[in-house]
Structure 1
Amino acid sequence: MPAAGVNEAGMKSLQIVSLPYSLNTPAAFQAIADLPAPVWLDSGRPLARGGRYDIISADPINTLELTADSEAPFAALDDLWCELSQADSDAQLPFCGGVIGYAGYELGMEGNFLPPDLRETPLPAGFFGLYTWALIVDHQLQASHLVFHPASSPVQVADLVARFTAVRWQTEPRAGRFRLLEPFTHELSGAAYQRRVARVLEYIQAGDIYQANFTQRFRAGYEGDLFQAYLALRSRVAGPFSAYLEIPDRGSILSLSPERFISADGAHVQTQPIKGTARRQTDPEKDAQVAAALQRSEKDRAENLMIVDLLRNDLGKCCQRGTVRVPNLFELATFANVHHLVSTITGELPESCTFADLLQASFPGGSITGAPKRRAMEIIRELESSPRGVYCGSIGYLSSCGRADTNIAIRTFSADARRLTCAAGGGIVADSVPAAEHRECLDKVGLLLSTLESLQ
C-alpha cells in the first residue's frame, strides 16, 4: 500500500490504490453502504452517455446541514471545504478529498434578494459532507483507484482497501425489496396545471418576465430498500449526472439528472443548460423526425437562448471580463425517454473568486427558474403549491484539488422515512400552450413514476 509523502511544494501526497476496472459500480457502492452518509455520484455508465467518472465515498469527517433561512449558505460551504488542506493532485483525478452534497432550490433565495421560503420539505435545505477518500472509476481510461487524502486515518485506509479488495466484480449487486404503498398522487389536476400556466402567460404578456419554469410535485408512500428503487430507475432513465445520497437520520436522494449545472477545473468553468424537450418515439424513423423538428423549433430555440443569455450574465458576475463564451448552442442530446436541446457556456474565474462565490452568484440554475431570474422566482413562489426542496437545486462535489462539478437536480426523488417525492415541469414562454405544457410535464416524469409503480 503506497504511503503518503511530501512533494516539492510542501504538500502532502495522496495515497492511491489501484483496483480492477469494472462497470459494476452498484456492487462497489454496496461495499460501503453501511458506513455513515454514503454517496455515489453516478456517471450512468454503461446505460447513459456523456459521463466520465463515478465517485463513491462515505464516512465524512464533518458535515454541514443548512436550513432555508441559513445566512450565507455558500460561504458556509466554502468554510467546510477549507477545513481540508490542499493535497498534491493528479491531472486524471476529479476528486482528491473534499465536499460532496446538495444545495436545495430554496438556498437560492438570499442571493436573489428574496425572503426565505420556510415551508416544510422532506429533507434539509442543504447537506454537505467533508470526505477524505473516494473510489474513482474513470470510464475514459478504464481505470479504478481508491484515492486517500492525507487526512485519512491508517485504520480507515486499511478498512476500505479490504472492503473493495473483497468485492466480487462479476456478481450482481445484492437485491433488496422495494414497493410503493400506493400510486403516485399528482399535486395538480390537468385543469389546475393549465390554469397556472395560463397565469404565467399573463405575466409574460404584461412584461414581467420572458420565461418562467413552472413545476408540480408527485408523491407516494413506500417501504423497503431505496437503493433498489434507485437501481430500477437507473436501468430505465440513467443520466450522466446521476447521484444517490443518504443523509443520516433524514432520508435519501435518488437523482437521474441529465443536466450539468456548473463544473470547474481550476479557473476554467462551464455550465450546460437544457431547454427544449421532445418525447422519444418507438419507431426509429419517427424518432429521428421528432429530433430534427426539435432542433428546428423556433419556440424551443428561443427558450434555450433566453436561458443561455441569463447564464452568461450569471457567470459574468464572477468571471474575468471578456472570458464568457458560448462554444456550443442548441446541441441535440438524446436520452431514454426524451430528446433535449443543450448549450454550453464557459468562462474563467479570477483568483479573487472561489467556486462557492460562483455558486452564490448563479444559484439556482437559470434553466429551472426563468428570466429575469428574480421576478421569475417570485412568480414560481406565488403559483407553485409547495417548495421545491432538492428538486431544481444542485448535487455535486468540490475537491481540495480545485476541481468541481454539479448537476441540476431534475429527474430527482427526495425520500424521508415514509414518502417519496419527485417533480416535473417546463419552461413557459409567450407562445406556450397550456395543454401542451401539461403533456410535456407528464412526458418528463411518466417513465420515472411507472418504473417505481411496477416494482413489487
Structure 2
Amino acid sequence: MRTHFSKEINNPEAFKNQLLTWSQQFREVVFLDSNEYHQKYSSYDCVLAVDAFTSLKTDFHNAFEEIKQYQQQTKDWLFGYFSYDLKNDTEKLTSNNFDGLHFPDLFFFQPKKLFLLKGNQLEVHYLLMCDDEFEIDFEEIKLYSDNFVTLVYTERSRSTVEVQQRISKENYLSKVNKMLEHIQRGDIYEANFCMEFFAENAIINPLEIYQKLNAISKPPFAVFFKNNQQYLLSASPERYLKKEGNKVISQPIKGTAKRFSDAALDEKAKNDLAENPKERSENIMIVDLVRNDLSKTATKGSVEVEELCGIYSFEQVHQMISTIASNVAENRAPVDIIKSTFPMGSMTGAPKISAMNIIENLEETKRGLYSGSVGYFSPENDFDFNVVIRSILYNAQNQYLSFSVGSAITSKAVPEQEYEECLLKAKAMFEVLQ
C-alpha cells in the first residue's frame, strides 16, 4: 500500500528543476516532462519516479510475458522502457548489428517515491514510508536552487565529445537507393531508415546535457532516464500509445519541416508541409498501419482517426501528426495492447515485418532503446508511452554515447533530401554536445 499526499506548489516550473536535480542521488530515475505543451491527451505536466522497490530487467526472450506477469502481480505504478529489439519477441526477427551501449532490452521498476505534478497541484505516493520522510525529502528538494545546479555543472569534469558518423553520406545515399529498389519491387511501401552518430571515451554530465536539450526543444514527451550508469536524455515530440480507461490513443509523427526565425518564412514552411504530397502519403500509410494494429485489440468498429495529418510546431521543427483512437474491453491486459502494436509503425514502415527485415539488413547499429518507448503503467491498468527519438543514449560505465536519426523512405524519396532531413533532426543533439 502506498501513502498518499497532496501539496500545493507555488512555482511549479522551478519545482520541476529542483525535483530533477534532487533525483540524481538515486540509482533509478524516470523524469517525464510535458513542458506545458498544449495537447488534448495529457494526464500530468511532470512525473518523477525514483528508487526501485522491485524491478524487472530482461532480454527480448519472452519479455512481453514477463512484463505482463510483473504488472499483474504488483498492481502498482511501474516505470521503464521497451527497446525496439523486443520485435524479436513478437516475430521471427533478429538484431545482429553493432551495439555499443549494451542496455537491457526491457527494464521496469516499481518506485518507492513517486511525484505527479498537474498545474500547481502535487500528488506524492510513497512505499514503505518512515515517519516524516516526505517532509524531510520536501525540505531537501527545496534546497536545490538554480545556483546549486550551476555549481554541480562547474564542478564536474568535462571533456570534448568527438561525435562520429556510423554511416558516411556516400554510404547513406547508396543504402537509401537500395531501399528504393525494395519499394520498386513491391517488397515494402515505406520504411524508416536510421543512422547512428556516436562518441567513444565520452565524459558528460547527463543532467546538464538533458536540461540543455530540453531547453532548446521543449517537447511534450521529454524524458530523463537513469538506471545506475545507463542514461536516456530524450526530447521526444511523439506519443506512441496511451490508455485511459477503455480508450487507447496513438499519435504517430511522419512529416518534418524546419522552422525559420522570419515569421513569414516559418508560416510558409508550415503550410508547405501540410500540402506536401510525399509527407502526407508517408503519414497516411502509417495511419493505416496503426489502425490495423489497434484493431487487433479494439472492440468491433471502435477504431477511429480523430485527426489526420495535423501540423504542430515545436522549437526546432514543424511536424505532421495524426491521432488514431480505439476502445478496448475492460478485461484486456494492458501489455497485450502494447505487444500487438509494437514496435510503433512510425519507426518501422509498411508492411511492418518486411520493413523491419530490410531495416536490419541496411542499418549498421542495433537500435536498442532508440525507437523504443519509455513511460509508465498505473495501478488502474492505464499507461502512457512515448517514442524514443531526438534522444541521446549514454553508458557512463564504458563511456559510449549514441544518438540516431532517421526518415521515412517512400517511392517519392530523394536520397539527398532524406539525408538533409536526418541532419535537421540531429541538429539539437549536436548543439548540446558541442
TM range (shorter): over 0.9
- 1:16 maps onto 2:8 in alignment: no
The change in CA–CA distance for 1:379 and 1:360 in structure 2 (over 3 A counts) is same
Show the counterpart of 2:169.
Answer: 190
Q: Distance in 1 between matches of 2:340 and 2:251?
A: 16
Contact 1:32 1:163 in 2 (8 A): no
1:153 and 2:144 matched: no
1:56 aligns with 2:30: no
State the Cα RMSD in Å: 1.9
2:423 is the alignment partner of 1:449? no
Q: Secondary structure at the match of 2:136?
A: helix
Q: Which residue in the other structure is 1:440 paired with?
A: 421
Aligned to 2:160: 181
Within the alignment, does 1:65 sit opposite 2:46 as a pair?
Answer: no
- 1:215 matched to 2:207? The reply is no
- Report how far residue 117 of structure 1 moved: 4.2
Which of 69, 72, 81 matches 1:82?
Answer: 72
SS of equivalent residue, structure 1 residue 387: coil
What do residues 278-334 of structure 1 show as CA deviations (whole Å, max 9, x unaligned)?
111121100100100000111111100000000001111111111110011111111
* Distance in 2 separating the partners of 1:409 and 1:64: 20
Whether 1:330 and 2:320 are equivalent positions in the alignment is: no
Aligned residue for 1:194, secondary structure, equals helix
Check if 1:312 corresponds to 2:291. Answer: yes
Give the Å deviation of 1:170.
Answer: 9.1
Query: Match of 2:121?
Result: 143
Question: Which is further off, 298-307 or 353-362?
Answer: 353-362
Aligned residue among 209, 231, 234 for 1:229:
209
Structure 2 CA distance for aligned equivalents of residues 276 and 180 of structure 1:
36
Paired position in structure 2 for 1:420:
401
1:115 aligns with 2:94: yes
Q: CA distance change for structure 1 residues 138 and 83 in 2, over 3 Å: closer, same or farther?
A: same
Q: Partner letter of residue 123 of structure 2?
A: H
- Residue 164 (1) aligns with residue 164 (2): no
Q: Which amino acid aligns with 1:158?
A: D
Q: Which letter maps to 1:59?
A: D
Q: CA deviation at 1:353?
A: 2.0
Report the alpha carbon displacement of residue 159 of structure 1 after superposing the two structures with TM. 2.5
Counterpart check, 1:41 vs 2:32: yes
SS of aligned partner of 2:56: strand
In the other structure, the counterpart of 2:251 is 272
Instruction: Identify the residue that residue 340 of structure 2 maps to in structure 1.
Output: 361
Structure ranking higher in helix proportion: 2
Q: Secondary structure at the match of 2:132?
A: helix
The alpha carbon displacement at 1:41 in A equals 1.3
Q: TM-score, normalised by structure 1?
A: 0.88
Is residue 2:110 matched to residue 1:130? yes
Code of the aligned partner of 2:129: P
Gap runs ≥5 in structure 1: 1-11, 86-96
Question: 2:203 aligns to what SS in structure 1?
Answer: strand
**Residues 224-256 of structure 1: CA deviation (Å, up to 9, x unaligned):** 4211111111111121111111112x4111111
- Deviating more after overlay: 124-133 vs 253-262: 124-133
